[in-house]
Amino acid sequence: MARLTLWRWGVLGLAGLYFLVPLAASVVFTVDVPGQGIDLDAYTQIFSTGGFTSSLLLSLELAAATIALVLLLMVPAMVALRLGAPRLRPVVEVVCSLPLVVPPIAFVAGIGTVLKWGPEHLSRTPLFQTFVAIQNPDFPFVLVLAYVVMALPFVYRALDAGLRSVDVRTLVEAARSCGAGWPQALVRAVLPNLRGALLNASFLTLALVLGEFTVAQLLGFQPFAVWIVNISGSQAQLSVAVSVLSLLVTWVLLLTLAGFGGRTRTTSRG
């Protein structure tokens, strides 16, 4: 028993070192100016560098829109799948896993082609305006669409795990026999019990959108991840400081989300 505990601490320590050493090194690198001691210049610089606030805000807006859209799409779909067509589940699972198989670079090449092809062939139709609108640099909706697809595998898995732990059919039927219509049964009886799953799905989507680089860069937009890479070329210290900061920002956001969701959460087993 004691040996087992020792092993556990050993493994935890090693894993901790693996993550913490590079992090600590990064932090030291950003604050330590050789010969002059500690200096927080690199961090203050970030905020004065143009584009920090706007790119971070853009990323957050994209994340919020993506979470809303992907949940609106997937929650009703998966509940319906459970209740109405359980045999289709493997099909949906495979479809939702496809984005893992298709490399982002191929995905974005496809989107790029469509975006170029669209306006040429649809210039005389109202759809032309649609193509223009979804590429609005202030809020590129096309990125939301791309991120929804990319988030599917994670959202599917998170929701599936949540739905497995509750008896959706019985909950819906119990609610209906208590006089609740279909929408009420879903909102009042099923969704509250999927809270954990919804949070997990939101977490994963948020992390995905905040860190996504390939698609945004190749389509020519500048959310947070792209901005970090862009400024890192000029100043080594600044770029590492930004990376550390972005890590902190992500953590803070995830913790906020967890705190927000966990406050009134009750464990529902039994």
Which residues of this protein are in contact with other proteins, per CB under 8 A? 166-167, 170-171, 173-181, 184-185, 188-189, 192-193, 195, 266-270
Q: How far is the CB of 86 from other proteins (least distance, A)?
A: 14
Q: How far is the CB of 171 from other proteins (least distance, A)?
A: 7
Whichever of 5 and 267 has its CB closer to other proteins, that residue is 267
Q: How far is the CB of 82 from other proteins (least distance, A)?
A: 15
Long-range contacts of 59-65 (CB under 8 A, 24+ apart): 59/209, 59/210, 59/223, 59/224, 59/225, 60/253, 61/139, 62/139, 62/140, 62/143, 62/144, 62/147, 62/209, 62/223, 63/205, 63/206, 63/209, 63/210, 65/141, 65/144
Of the CA atoms within 13 Å of residue 112, those in its CB half-sphere come to: 14
Whichever of 53 and 177 has its CB closer to other proteins, that residue is 177
Whichever of 65 and 189 has its CB closer to other proteins, that residue is 189
Whichever of 12 and 80 has its CB closer to other proteins, that residue is 80
Q: How far is the CB of 201 from other proteins (least distance, A)?
A: 18
